[in-house]
Amino acid sequence: MARKMTMTEKILARHAGKADATPGENIWVDVDVLMTHDVCGPGTIGIFHQQYGKDAKVWDPSRVVIIPDHYIFTANEICHRNVQILRDFVREQGIQYYYDPEFVKNEPGMPNPYRDPTKTNYKGVCHKALPEEGHLRPGEILLGTDSHTCTAGAFGQFATGVGNTDAAFTLGTGKTWLKVPPTMKFTFHGQIPPYLTAKDLILAVIGQISVSGATYKSMYFTGEGIGSLTLEDRMTLTNMAIEAGGKNGICDVDQKTLDYVKARSNRPEWEVVTEDEGAEYCYEHEWDLGTLEPLVAKPHSPDNKDLARNCTDVKLDRAYIGSCTGGKITDMIMAASLLNGHNVKIPTFVVPGSTEVHADMQRLNIRGELKAGDEKSIQQTLEDAGCQVGPSGCAACLGGPADTFGRLNEPLNCISTTNRNFPGRMGHKEAGVYLASPLTVAASALTGHVTDPREYVSEPIATGTAGLV
Ligand code: SF4
């Protein structure tokens, strides 16, 4: 009888042309898509040319996706040069999928950001742009030169971050060498309550197993609680698998996944992979969503978990809503619904995860529906509450050059929807970053201290069709 397998084992086995892939086994696999961006792309390209020669060609120009997103809105000339290196490589190789920030002109000074998010080739954060532009499909293997490439596991695929050397090897061959990870199973029962988002779930997981608890393991998120999340919220879960050291994070494929991928995929065929009943796990834990409470991760580690209601004495200087973890349109609706009709007490920076999110913030109301003529948009609601909305991109999530929008240039206390709070991550080494859901960040922005969103939210927040097909 065939061995019962996890989704991750099945995907790796199929891409190795084998019937089985056992945890601990080293195998060669074919890669479906390789993604890189403006930070690691230039280094990857350099190694590729060094190792394969200056006239070398990538294995398949239709499977290499390049998305500049990190250091875009800055006057830093080294950052501008990085974008130019990507452009030269795209031209040289005939890369099919490249999303150029055409407003970065390699001229001194800050580039003028896009005027209209619907009229630019630029996309914003790679992990949000990948599904929007049709590069994610169940059952596939995605590699990316970014640790949060694991986000794509929300779509039922194997996705993981690699270094520049591994990426250069894949550029030349279309293959990579992997050790099959054992799988940890995290089951969530019940339905997501109105005051929680997937951020609370993943902070509960990391708080329990620690930042090294899933080192080189696959993290499988399942149960009706995961089914009750929007597809975007599942991306928040898988996005932070790497914060526990996970090799990948993965969710079951359901109708929400299929509808999205069928409408967006730029390839017609893919194969849905399911978990075998009786598959083996190296760790299992179950939660009841009815008993979970809003959480924060205190400085300086994502596993430094505490209940938001235990931290009300923490005075905050700033709030930040953005990134691949918390800058999706459903995150914006959550924050805007809570902030609607109120005024923030501390400077609050909002950064759309992608230009599509930014466009949706301008055309949708806070129920996620197309806004009527005189109705307020999500962006207007946030601005009327006193938030500053910047252009889409990674922005201050990882600090960046000193002129980056929202960067912590002083030792401030900031509550943030981002995914990492190590010293210096958002700028100043002595700043304190509290990781939380968009609801907890918005509630805290209103009071100036860490605040449990249950003080403001009791009814479910409708997100309409936002973030769907
Ligand atoms: S938004 Fe932050 S975590 Fe996400 S890719 Fe950009 S820098 Fe990395």
| Per-position b or e across 240-265, b if 16+ CB within 10 A of its CB | bbbbbbbbbbbbbbeebbeebbeeeb
My answer on whether omega of the bond before 300 falls inside 30° of 0, hence cis, is: yes
C-beta of 323 in contact with ligand 1 (< 6 A)? yes
161 band by pLDDT with thresholds 50, 70 and 90:
very high
> Is the CB–ligand 1 distance for residue 146 below 6 Å?
yes
What's the 397 CA to ligand 1 centre distance in angstroms? 6
Q: Averaged over 195-215, what is the pLDDT?
A: 98
Q: Is 422 left (phi over 0), alpha (psi -120 to 50) or beta?
A: beta
397 Cβ inside 6 Å of ligand 1: yes
Residue 469: pLDDT above 80?
Answer: no
Decide if 7-178 and 295-455 have a common fold.
Answer: yes
Cβ of residue 324 lying under 6 Å from some atom of ligand 1: yes
Query: How many helices and strands in the chain, by DSSP H and E?
Result: 14, 18
Cα–ligand 1 centroid distance for 395 (angstroms): 8
Q: Which atom of ligand 1 is nearest the CA belonging to 419? A: 3
According to CATH, the topology of domain 7-178 is Aconitase; domain 3 (3.30.499)
Domain 181-288 has CATH 3.30.420.40: no
| Helical ranges in 72-213 per DSSP H | 77-93, 126-132, 164-173, 198-209
Each domain of the chain, given as residue ranges in start order, spans: 7-178, 181-288, 295-455
The CA distance from 386 to 339, in Å, is 9
What's the confidence (pLDDT) of residue 106?
82
pLDDT in tens, 279-318: 999 999 999 999 999 999 999 999 999 999 999 999 999 9
Report pLDDT digits (tens) over 239-264.
999 999 999 999 999 999 999 999 99
The atom number, within ligand 1, closest to the CA of 323 reads 1
State the Cα–Cα distance between residues 117 and 119, nearest whole angstrom.
Answer: 6
- To test the ligand 1 pocket, which listed residue (418, 420, 433, 435) has its Cβ within 8 A of the most ligand atoms? 418
Torsion sign (Cα): 332, 367, 266, 143: positive
Residue 335: pLDDT above 80?
Answer: yes
Q: What is the DSSP string of 41-100?
A: HHHHHHHHHHHH-TT---S-TTSEEE---SS-SS--HHHHHHHHHHHHHHHHHT-SEE--
Tell me if 381 CB under 6 Å of ligand 1. Answer: no
Determine if ligand 1 sits within 6 Å of the CB of residue 148.
Answer: yes
Instruction: Give the pLDDT confidence score for residue 1 in this predicted structure.
Output: 77
Atom of ligand 1 nearest to the CA of 398: 7
Whether residue 403 is predicted with pLDDT greater than 80 in this model: the reply is: yes
Structure confidence at residue 168 (pLDDT): 98
CA separation for the pair 410, 412 (Å, rounded): 6
Q: Does ligand 1 come within 6 angstroms of the Cβ of 425?
A: no
Q: Any idea which architecture 295-455 has in CATH?
A: 2-Layer Sandwich (3.30)
Q: What is the pLDDT of residue 465?
A: 87
Pairing of the two strands 248-251 and 218-222: parallel
pLDDT at 30: 98
Cα 428 to its chain centre, rounded Å, is: 23
Each residue of 109-160: pLDDT tens digit?
Answer: 999 999 999 999 999 999 999 999 999 999 999 999 999 999 999 999 999 9
**pLDDT tens-digit readout, 349-388:** 999 999 999 999 999 999 999 999 899 999 999 999 999 9
Distance CA 322, CA 353 (A): 6
CB distance 125 to ligand 1 below 6 Å: yes
Cα 223 to ligand 1 centre (Å) = 28
Q: Answer for the pair 10, 273: CB distance below 8 angstroms, yes or no.
A: yes
pLDDT of residue 441: 99
